[in-house]
Structure 1
Amino acid sequence: MTLRQPPNNQASNYVKELLERLYFELGKKVEFIEVLGARELHMVEQGLLVGALARQVGIEKKHSSLIRIPIPILTFELIQVSNSKQCGQCNLKKIKSISYIRGAVIAENYLKQLPTLVKQFPIKDAYSLNHLLLKGRVDNVLMMDFEMTDEIKFKDHFIKRSIEQKVNYHYLSPKYKHLKQPLLKALAKLKKDGVIDKLKYKYRINMKRLR
């Protein structure tokens, strides 16, 4: 079973291990190969990949032959984190600047909705974003819930606001549509056995405390 090698981050590593466990339940071994993300869906349609790793509902509009496994494999949120010591209530409509990880599409799309007067500072990675916030170098950031460090998550002077939730599903190639029901049963089994919860804990998925 061949799938695209995901990027190296917590959410992607969670999805990778979950899919490995999932296909193992079917007695199959997954091989991950380097493929451009933009090519993934086309290769799935052609049967060159068994499926797409984790995608949002709606891709069926352009790729109608793909088969969605109707149990989410990844749910995450875009969070605005603000330092109340520096900006009070940090109302999003009144903030002067905000930082985010360069290339994070969900964050970049949201930032397009903000007033043009809000200065935007892209940062290279989640580590730098957390570090700058903790050091007081930035007042507001946008990050995924799984990227937030415990030091920020559990300190009350950091205000956390949920901006948007995303739900991702595994999609199968039409060539492998016969695997839909077995995968559904395997997902249900992994959930019942507590495997999914252990993986979420391992990769810090959906571990949060918002206010």
Structure 2
Amino acid sequence: MLTLAATQSARAQPPLVAPEELVFRAPEPSPLTNYVLAVLEEAYAELGIPLKYVEMPRSRSLVEANNGRIAGELGRLHGLEEKYTNLRRVEFPLFAFQLVLIADRRECGVCSLDDIENLAYIRGMQGIENLLKKHDYQRPTVQAVDLEQLYLLFENKRVKAIILNNFEAQQLGLTENRHLIEVPFNSDIAYHYLHKNYADLIPQLEAILNRMHEEGRTVELMREHDASSLPGPHFKAPPEFGEVSATAGYWRRYTNLNGSGAYWEIIKRIFGPVSDELELNANTYQRAILGLSEQRFDILVGSYAGHQPSNAIVSEVHFDYDRPLYAFTLDDEAMERLKAGILKRPVCHVAGYGYHEFLPKGLSYYHANNSLDCFAMLDKGTRIGAVVNYRENMPDWMDYPYKQLPLHGSLPIHMAFQDTPRGRDMKAWFDLRMRKMVASGEIAEIYNAVELERSKFLFSLPPEVRAEVQPDP
């Protein structure tokens, strides 16, 4: 948890005349807002003051707080008092947050503001209004009344993107959709505010909050409510990662054994300048993912979001889209049993991939070294009942066509990193540099026209580069 609290530790004494209660706007429920409520309720309880919450729009609450009709604001951006002059800031940083843009990467690639046709945000979000002004965003915007309306505008495709706090995006489940990209903007700190009528409470409240921080109570409450308040790193200068190692399954043209290939080239351009030594290792995918899991490598090239090892994280920015995935059987009866989850013989796929996510429960699996082994066993008709793979990998020896079942369309594929401070810095550096490689057109030096279209990066290229590489209709 991020806390920048001062070291003041004196126990606060209750005010001479404590108010019977303090009223604030009821926040949208989320792990982070639940944490904020828990911290403030515990702090105010030491002063003998209960808290009460009333429903009202976020934008209205600022006016109500400034006019003294509610007690203040639970957690707001610093500097609020410059415009709302009756509000007083409690000098204790409650949490860090980040403004993020959510959009469908299939429609805008890396989805910078320049790529977005229109967007929505919640009325009264000063940080967002400042952001749009800073970037001189002149395209249409919609101001939603609350988080629910914001979500519906996006879900119903009334707008191409939305901007909100990162914890609100998590609350809405938007970060679980693989096609949605989260584009981070500025990080900031939220503070508690009180109307000037309650200014005499502030020194005592600060003392309590600082003591709670020093005693580890704020961290305990953060964990109890499963909240997170960790801003991403900001690179004022290129980092120095020392020795960097990357691993991948062997994909011809992309991760060749000799270190050539398009995906390796991306790794070289992003991490070569910030490493003393860069090791590239192509192997079977199973060995590659095991190498990341055992922390023998820093980077795994190629993972769906959610399929990385439990001790790893994936990049926010994808580096490509894969092809549609299929299940293959010899006949219709086996296909129906597969769809019902009652196929007796195992489903074969290349080891290391978590394809069971896309199939019914109750099936068993056989993991092979390569896809051709799976198809060879399927053709014999005795050992396995189905194969999961891509159409492009079907063998040339087929005497008759397989029965085919689409399991999913194209999905974004990501880099995976160790879930350590160093790994998180490497992830942040990759996301930053990958966005710049696409926005500048540098990616067109690595990918051909078909690959740029497949990866969705064509949307984000500079117009002059896009005109040069646009695939023929």
The normalised TM-score by structure 2 is 0.36
Structure 1 counterpart of 2:167: 146
Structure 2 counterpart of 1:191: 218
Could you say which structure has the greater relative contact order, defined with CA pairs below 8 angstroms and 6 or more residues apart? 1
2:44 aligned to 15, 23, 26, which one? 23
Structure 2 counterpart of 1:40: 65
Contact 1:99 1:129 in 2 (8 A): yes
3-state SS of the aligned residue for 2:38? helix
Structure 2 counterpart of 1:3: 22
Inter-CA distance 100–210: structure 2 relative to 1 (3 Å threshold): farther
Contact 1:6 1:13 in 2 (8 A): no
Output the amino acid matched with 2:200: K
Could you tell me how far 1:81 is from its partner in structure 2? 0.9
Deviations 1:90-146 (A, max 9, x none): 231232211222333322332334342x12123333234334434544322112212
1:102 aligned to 119, 123, 126, which one? 123
Alpha-carbon separation, structure 1, partners of 2:86 and 2:27: 29
Q: When the two structures are aligned, how many residues end up with a matched partner?
A: 200
Contact 2:74 2:193 in 1 (8 A): yes
Q: Unaligned 5+ residue runs, structure 2?
A: 1-18, 55-59, 232-313, 317-473
Structure 2 counterpart of 1:175: 200
Deviations 1:163-183 (A, max 9, x none): 122212235754232443233
Structure 1 counterpart of 2:463: none
Contact 2:122 2:144 in 1 (8 A): yes
Could you tell me how far 1:80 is from its partner in structure 2? 0.6
3-state SS of the aligned residue for 1:69? strand
Alpha-carbon separation, structure 1, partners of 2:90 and 2:205: 11
Alpha-carbon separation, structure 2, partners of 1:65 and 1:155: 39
Could you tell me how far 1:83 is from its partner in structure 2? 0.4
3-state SS of the aligned residue for 1:195? helix
Aligned residues: percent identity?
Answer: 22
Contact 1:87 1:139 in 2 (8 A): no
Alpha-carbon separation, structure 2, partners of 1:130 and 1:52: 23
1:163 aligned to 185, 189, 202, which one? 185
Residues 65-84 of structure 1 aligned to structure 2 (within 5 Å): 66=88, 68-70=90-92, 72-84=93-105
Choose 83-92 or 148-157, whichever is displaced more: 148-157
Instruction: Tell me how large the CA RMSD over aligned residues is.
Output: 3.8
Output the amino acid matched with 2:43: L
Inter-CA distance 29–81: structure 2 relative to 1 (3 Å threshold): same
Could you tell me how far 1:42 is from its partner in structure 2? 7.1
Output the amino acid matched with 1:75: A
Contact 1:4 1:40 in 2 (8 A): no
